[in-house]
Amino acid sequence: MQLQVALAQAMAVLEKAGVEEPRLDAKVLLTHALGMTGAQLFTHPRRQLSSTELTDYRQLIERRAQREPLAYIVGHKEFYGLDFFVDTRVLIPRPETELLVEKAIEISQRQSVIADVGTGSGAIAVSLAVHLPQALIYATDVSSAALEVAARNCRRHGVQDRVHLLQGRLLEPLPGPVDLIVANLPYVSEVEWAQLPPEIRCYEPREALYGGPDGLDHIRRLLAQARGYLKPGGSILLEIGATQGEAVVALTRRHFPTAEAEIIKDYAGLDRVVMVSRGARGQGAEEQGSKGARVNDVGAHVFQLEVVD
Ligand code: GLN
C-alpha cells in the first residue's frame, strides 16, 4: 500500500475515534513506524509500505484510536526545547509548565540550590540543570517508579551529577534548606477529574494529577512543610490550576505572612503559577507597608502580605 493511502486511512480512523488532531497524529505515528522524518514522508508520498510496516503502523493507530496519549506511544515528549523519555509511570510534560521553568531561570542566582518537588519525568529539574549549569538541584518524588524515569532523563541530558534524585514525601527527603522550591504537584479537583479527556484520565498516573476534593491537598502540605526548607530570601514557584490562584495565595499568606505572593498568567491568559518570595530576615517591617493586591507590568496580580513573619 502507498504511504499516502495508509496515511489517509489512518487519519479517518483517528478522526472517528474522536482524536483531536488526527492528521498530525497519523503523520507522527507513520514517521515513528517507518523511522523516517516528517520531511521524508512529504517527499515520498508514493513509497510502498511493506506488509510488516503496514501492520506495525496499524497497531500504533489502533492504540491512539483507544485514546492512548501520543507521547506514551512514541516514548518521548519535547519540553523546554529538550527531548524527554516518558512512559505511563510519569505525567507527560505539558507546554504550560514551561512557564514555571522560565520563571525559575529568571529568578535564580548562578549557584542556587533548587528543589523540584514531585519531579515525575524530571522535565523541570533537568531543564533547570541544563540552563543553570552551576545550580545544584534536588528532585524529589514519592514514586520510585517515577524516579527511574527521571534518572534516565538526567543521564540522557548529562546532568546526573547535578540533579540529586530523592525518594520521599514532598520536601521531607531534602538534606537542608534551599534557595528555590519549584513544584508542579497534582492539582486537579474532584469535579475537574471527571471532565478530563480519556487520554489523561485513563492513561496518565492519577497520583500525579489528582489533588483531592479542591485539588489543593498536596500544595497545602507542601506550604505547611516549606518554612523549614526555604532559606531567607528564597522563593517558591507553584504551578496551579486556572481557578486556584486566590486560594493558593491565601495559603501562602498563612505560612509566609511577610512574603510577597504573585499570580502569573500563562500564554493562554490563565492563572498558572504562584510565586512566593520570602524576604531576607529583617525585611518584615518594610514589607508590611502596602496592603491588598496590585497588578504588575505583565498583568500579574501582586499581593503584598500584611502580617510579620
Ligand atoms: N495541567 C494538567 C492537566 O492536564 C494538570 C497537571 C497537574 O495536576 N499538575 O490537567
In tens, the pLDDT along 177-215 reads: 999 999 999 999 999 999 999 999 999 999 999 999 999
Q: Quick one: 16 and 158 in the same domain?
A: no
Ligand 1 atom nearest to 241, measured from its CA: 1
Total number of domains in the chain? 2
Q: Quick one: 188 and 280 in the same domain?
A: yes
Q: Which grid cell sits at 8?
A: 489517509
Does a structural domain hold residue 72? Answer: no
Instruction: Provide the pLDDT for residue 109.
Output: 84
- Ligand 1 within 6 A of 184 CB? yes
Q: Which grid cell sits at 45?
A: 508520498
- Ligand 1 within 6 A of 189 CB? no
Does a structural domain hold residue 146? Answer: yes
Does a structural domain hold residue 62? Answer: yes
Q: Quick one: 82 and 128 in the same domain?
A: yes
Instruction: Provide the pLDDT for residue 42.
Output: 84
- Ligand 1 within 6 A of 209 CB? yes
Q: Quick one: 58 and 198 in the same domain?
A: no
Do 3 and 46 contact (CB within 8 A), yes or no? yes
Q: Quick one: 118 and 27 in the same domain?
A: no
Instruction: Provide the pLDDT for residue 281.
Output: 60
- Ligand 1 within 6 A of 188 CB? yes
Q: Quick one: 171 and 252 in the same domain?
A: yes
- Ligand 1 within 6 A of 240 CB? no
- Ligand 1 within 6 A of 41 CB? no
Does a structural domain hold residue 31? Answer: yes
Ligand 1 atom nearest to 118, measured from its CA: 9
Which regions of the chain are under pLDDT 50? 282-309
Which residue range is the domain that position 51 belongs to? 3-66
Instruction: Please identify, among 43, 66, 89, the residue that sits at the C-terminal boundary of a domain.
Output: 66
**Which residue's alpha carbon is nearest to atom 9 within ligand 1?**
186
pLDDT tens track for 216-236: 999 999 999 999 999 999 999
Q: Quick one: 186 and 293 in the same domain?
A: yes
- Whether the model clears a pTM of 0.85, i.e. scores above it, the answer is yes
**Which residue's alpha carbon is nearest to atom 2 within ligand 1?**
209
- CATH number for the domain harbouring residue 32: 1.10.8
- CATH number for the domain harbouring residue 156: 3.40.50.150
